[in-house]
């Protein structure tokens, strides 16, 4: 069981990425002037998108207008550049062949990507003088050879929408470059962080989906749905060294309700025990002199 604690990605360490504003998705930078009801702009200083709610118009700075009563602007969400670094998995940065350069200021030895749509992810790590020290290329689409050649040619492609990389050389001053290859590529969540071992995940670990769709039943018993998002809820059963319980407790306590990546099975990273979310419940029991049990519940992000 591995925990990846993310670093905060800011414009100071995000040295290259999608343009901001991104005209390809219709983003326009705010400048002083009059804006009408429904107009949308961005502010590169806050990396947020704003919409006018004042009727019929406003001259307010959006960052000020959102704090007024009544508000003249509302915060719609992050810009296209920063959607992959926000606290939601369903908002995705989009573009053709997206390249992201990050120069971390705290230790990074793991990367994780969720809600990804691209053909290939290329990862390169450089030291502080620009020498390549790590390289990895991961195919996100493939045609598996399952049950013979017929299925190989006619079953279609399968796609992976998540990837975790645990063997990044620890770096604090080098550059990490990630390329999401493909026309119309998108990235819902991009995590850089430091990993910590929490013990060994045991049989009995379970995962479930929380469905936020809204069912409506009419007088004849017919059911219709207002489609909503789903979130993952994972209950981890973990066995850890008793001597490590205090340090594990400290790691979990330090998270609070901040989001992190939980890798339930490092030998099969893509399974349902891989979660990006926050700790809902944690319970550790000093079970035996050398080994002890931990019950951990993680609520995944929508």
Any idea what the CATH number is for the domain that residue 254 is in?
A: 2.40.30
159 is a domain residue:
yes
pLDDT of residue 143: 64
The two tokens of residue 299 are 């609520």
| SS3 (DSSP) at 245 | helix
Asked whether the beta carbons of 48 and 65 are under 8 A apart, the reply is no
Alpha helices in 99-217 (DSSP H): 149-154
Q: Out of 12-21, 46-55, 152-161, 281-290, which region has the weakest mean confidence (pLDDT)?
A: 152-161
- H/E stretch holding 234 reads strand 230-241
- Give the separation between CA 169 and CA 108, rounded to whole angstroms: 8
Cα(33)–Cα(60) distance, integer angstroms: 8
What lies within 8 Å, CB to CB, of 86 at 6+ separation is 77, 78
Output the six-digit token pair for 164.
Answer: 């975790």
Asked if 187 and 206 sit in the same domain, the reply is no
Let me know if residue 277 belongs to a domain.
yes
Domain ranges, residue 252:
200-300
181 and 227 share a domain? no
End residue of a domain, out of 194, 217, 241: 194
- Predicted pLDDT of residue 131: 94
Do 51 and 130 belong to one domain? Answer: no
pLDDT higher than threshold 60 for residue 22: yes
Q: What is the DSSP letter of 242?
A: G
Percent of the chain with pLDDT over 70: 96
pLDDT of the residue at 146? 60
Q: Please indicate, yes or no, whether residues 248 and 273 belong to a single structural domain of this protein.
A: yes
Residue 134 counted as domain residue: yes
Question: How far is C-alpha 7 from the geometric centre of its chain's CA atoms?
Answer: 12
Give the domain-ending residue among 135, 162, 194.
Answer: 194
Q: pLDDT band for position 156 (50/70/90)?
A: low
pLDDT recorded at residue 280 = 95
State which H helix or E strand residue 95 sits in: strand 93-95
**Residue 262 in domain:** yes
Residue at 223 is within a domain: yes
Sign of the Cα pseudo-torsion (247, 195, 106, 231, in order): negative
Are residues 104 and 179 located together in one domain of the fold?
A: yes
Number of structural domains the chain divides into: 3
pLDDT for residue 97 is more than 60:
yes
Instruction: Please count the residues of the chain.
Output: 302
Of 105, 131, 119, 144, whose CA–CA distance to 12 is shortest? 105
Which pLDDT does position 173 carry in this prediction?
Answer: 82
Q: State whether 234 and 296 are in the same domain.
A: yes
Q: How confident is the model at residue 175 (pLDDT cuts 50, 70, 90)?
A: very high
Angstrom CA distances, 136 to 124, 128, 168, 195, stand at: 7, 19, 10, 19
Return the pLDDT at 144.
60
Question: What DSSP state is assigned to residue 102?
Answer: E
Q: Which residue has the tokens 């001259």?
A: 59
Mean pLDDT of the chain: 93
Residue 219 shares a structural domain with residue 268: yes
Helices (runs of H) and strands (runs of E) counted in the chain: 3, 25
Residue 145 has pLDDT above 60, yes or no: no
CATH number of the domain within which 110 lies: 2.60.120.260
Residues 49 and 125 in one domain: no
Average pLDDT over residues 136-161: 76
User: d(Cα 284, Cα 296) in Å, to the nearest integer?
Assistant: 8
Which pLDDT score, from 0 to 100, does residue 92 have?
A: 96
pLDDT digits (tens, 9 = 90+) for 189-247: 999 999 999 999 999 999 999 888 888 888 888 888 788 888 899 999 999 999 999 99
Q: pLDDT band at residue 158, thresholds of 50, 70 and 90?
A: confident
> Do residue 217 and residue 283 come from a single domain?
yes
Instruction: Clarify whether residues 101 and 190 are in a common domain.
Output: yes
Q: What is the pLDDT of residues 26-45, one digit of tens each?
A: 999 999 999 999 999 999 99
The DSSP call for residue 90 is S
Residue 119: what are its φ and ψ, rounded to 5°? -90, -35
Residue-level pLDDT at 207 = 92
Per the omega criterion (within 30 degrees of 0), is the bond before 70 cis? Answer: yes
Kindly write down the DSSP assignment for every residue of 38-73, as one continuous string: T-EEEETTTTEEEEE-SSSEE-S-HHHHTTSSS-SE
pLDDT at 151 over 80: no
Per-residue pLDDT, 246: 96
Question: Which letter does DSSP use for residue 289 in this model?
Answer: S
Considering the domain architecture, whether residues 226 and 277 belong to the same structural domain is answered as yes
Look up residue 7 and give its two tokens. 């670093």
Instruction: Let me know if residue 83 belongs to a domain.
Output: no
278 is a domain residue:
yes
């Amino acid at each position: 069981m591995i925990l990846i604690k993310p670093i905060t990605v800011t414009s100071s360490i995000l040295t290259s990425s999608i343009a901001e504003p991104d005209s390809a998705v219709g983003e326009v930078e705010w400048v002083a002037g009059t804006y009408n009801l429904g107009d949308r702009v961005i502010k590169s200083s806050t990396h947020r998108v704003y919409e006018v709610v004042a009727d019929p118009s406003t001259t307010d700075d959006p960052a000020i207008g959102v704090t007024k009563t009544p508000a003249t602007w509302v915060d719609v969400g992050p810009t296209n550049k920063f959607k992959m670094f926000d606290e939601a998995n369903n908002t995705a940065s989009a573009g053709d062949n997206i390249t992201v350069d990050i120069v971390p200021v705290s230790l990074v030895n793991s990367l994780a990507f969720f809600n990804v749509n691209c053909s290939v992810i290329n990862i390169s790590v450089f030291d502080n003088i620009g020498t390549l020290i790590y390289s990895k290329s991961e195919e996100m689409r493939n045609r598996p050879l399952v049950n013979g050649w017929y299925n190989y040619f006619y079953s279609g492609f399968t796609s992976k929408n998540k990837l975790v990389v645990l063997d990044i050389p620890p770096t604090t001053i080098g550059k990490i470059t990630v390329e999401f290859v493909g026309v119309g590529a998108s990235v819902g969540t991009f995590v850089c962080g430091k990993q910590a071992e929490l013990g060994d995940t045991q049989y009995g670990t379970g995962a479930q989906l929380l469905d936020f769709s809204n069912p409506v039943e009419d007088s004849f018993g017919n059911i219709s749905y207002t489609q909503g998002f789903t979130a993952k809820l994972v209950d981890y059963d973990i066995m850890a060294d008793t001597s490590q319980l205090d340090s594990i407790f400290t790691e979990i306590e330090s998270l609070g309700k901040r989001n992190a990546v939980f890798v339930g099975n490092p030998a099969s990273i893509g399974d349902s025990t891989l979660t990006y979310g926050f700790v809902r419940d944690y319970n550790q029991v000093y079970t035996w002199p050398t080994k002890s049990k931990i019950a951990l519940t993680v609520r995944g992000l929508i």
